[in-house]
Amino acid sequence: MIKNVVLISADFPRTYYKFAQAFRKNGCNVLVIGSTPYNEIEQGLRESATEYYQTFEMENINKMFEIVGYFINKYGPIDFLESNNEYWLRNDSIIREHFGIRSGIYPAELDEYQRKSSMKKAFIDAGAHVAPYIIVRDYESLKEFADKYGYPLFAKPDIGVGAFGNYKINNEAELQAFHREKPYVDYICEAYVTGLIVTFDGIADANSNVVIAANERFPREIYSYHITKKDMFYYVNKEVPEKILSLGKKIIKALGLKNRFFHTELFLAENSVKGHFKEGDIVPLEVNIRTPGGYTPDLLNYGLSTNLYQMFADIICFGKSDEPVGPRYYSCAASRRRGKEYFFSEEDILRTFKNNMCQYGDYPDVFAGLMGDRYYMAKFSDEKDIKIFEEYVGRLANKSYASSGIPSNIVGEDKRILDEQNAQPSDELPICDRHIDGA
């Protein structure tokens, strides 16, 4: 029986207080370490935490040892410790090993899970096509790789997260610049894959079985968004395509991932590399052994009509979960950036899509560079509607319309949808009023 749970950084992202709620619901002592002053944390976290220990020294591993030791002296042995946050995964593993907490991975195991080069073996064992790659050691071997596979190439840290520190290399001059300027860490360089970025997200149980899965779809070349400052739009697919579901389950089994969230990034390839992959193949990129970033767990909940925070806590505490999963929807997130002038106001968005809005607010600064500053999440039954939502939220003020209402260039079925969304509400509850509590 799980009794004492330590949650690292349940105060950030702010919606992670729902992990505390879930473990508290399961009867656990929820012991939280966070950097946010107590009077500024979410009400749900204050109500759910057995004790909240605030510190500005979370990166100081000795300080973390001291805090966890204090919890052990006060409450007894720790049964489970986790952050589900990429930034803290290594410290999580070090703390577990230091105190002998066997409910999660230790540093040596984490190395294997986080190295992109190590992931390649699991992808191959699962029967997936992979892009040819090289670990960057010296310029000569890197140049030979480029001569063999041609340009463009894509280079990224062997252990890393997100789009930062990544390079698209288009020619020999850029290859030389990359090798000269890259950070002093191990890099993996791959043949370039073009296509739609998709994911296989979910939770694995103690037997590496996928308990629940979802499929997100992202813009092409998302790695450059923090440079180009484009508005971000991505969405959760209503269903996981069978090819992705089947391959994703095999990858999680091959990795031996247990009692964890996973966020697997894949390409639906639109190019080919002879002997490695062809157009139409699913080409895995990497597996992150934590929740999808930012507020995406909430977006998944909206699409799946469930509560993944509770499902995860149930699996940790009881080995299974009976958390209900309702009808599936397309759930999407559209963002805006400060300094841009948009045609439609926030009031317009909330009025026009009042039956579909799920959540909106500001991204924290740490997410804003890539994701944007202000976000809007909504869910729809029809895939066509999410495109309308994307265009509506992202429409800039220099686009001309006949009025400040429905854009004059939207006609036919699209106009019908917007007309219905602007009509008086019917007796039927809006989609987002039918959520399960906590989702």
The answer as to whether 119 is a domain residue is no
Q: How many domains does the chain have?
A: 3
Place of tokens 């995964």: 89
Are residues 138 and 91 part of one domain? no
Are residues 395 and 295 part of one domain? yes
The answer as to whether 110 is a domain residue is no
The answer as to whether 118 is a domain residue is no
Q: Which of 191, 209, 238 is the last residue of a domain?
A: 191
Are residues 214 and 90 part of one domain? no
Are residues 408 and 306 part of one domain? yes
Are residues 241 and 341 part of one domain? yes
CA-CA distance, 305 to 329, in Å (whole number)? 8
pLDDT at 384: 94
pLDDT at 224: 67
| Residue 276: CATH number of its domain | 3.30.470.20
Are residues 158 and 213 part of one domain? no
pLDDT at 228: 77
Are residues 294 and 183 part of one domain? no
pLDDT at 423: 54
CA-CA distance, 324 to 317, in Å (whole number)? 17
The answer as to whether 113 is a domain residue is no
The answer as to whether 81 is a domain residue is yes
Radius of gyration, alpha carbons of the chain = 23
Q: Determine whether 207 is exposed, middle or buried from the number of CB atoms within 10 Å of its CB (0-12, 13-18, 19+).
A: exposed
Are residues 72 and 172 part of one domain? no
Instruction: Give the count of alpha carbons within 13 A of 348, CB side only.
Output: 15
Are residues 139 and 92 part of one domain? no
The answer as to whether 61 is a domain residue is yes
Are residues 216 and 164 part of one domain? no
Q: Residue type at 266?
A: L
Return the number of other C-beta atoms located less than 10 Å from residue 226's C-beta: 16
Q: Which of 146, 170, 191 is the last residue of a domain?
A: 191
| Residue 150: CATH number of its domain | 3.30.1490.20
Name the average pLDDT for the chain. 90
Q: How far is CA 354 from CA 388, 407, 423, 429, in A?
A: 14, 17, 10, 11
CA-CA distance, 309 to 4, in Å (whole number)? 17
Place of tokens 């484009």: 230
The answer as to whether 144 is a domain residue is yes
Are residues 171 and 208 part of one domain? no
Q: Which of 28, 93, 16, 6 is nearest to 314 (CA)?
A: 28
Q: Which of 266, 268, 294, 261 is nearest to 370 (CA)?
A: 294
Q: Which of 89, 105, 121 is the last residue of a domain?
A: 105
pLDDT at 432: 44
Find the helix or strand (DSSP H, E) in which 23 lies: helix 17-25
| Residue 75: CATH number of its domain | 3.40.50.20
The answer as to whether 439 is a domain residue is no
Are residues 230 and 333 part of one domain? yes
Q: How far is CA 152 from CA 129, 171, 181, in A?
A: 19, 7, 18
Per the structure, the complete domain to which residue 152 belongs is given by 132-191
CA-CA distance, 62 to 58, in Å (whole number)? 9
DSSP 292: P
Task: Walk along the chain (439 residues) in steps of 10 and give the mean pLDDT of each run.
Answer: 96 97 98 97 97 98 98 98 96 98 95 89 93 94 96 89 74 94 90 92 98 91 73 96 97 96 94 91 94 96 98 98 96 96 96 96 92 96 95 84 48 56 46 36
pLDDT at 323: 96
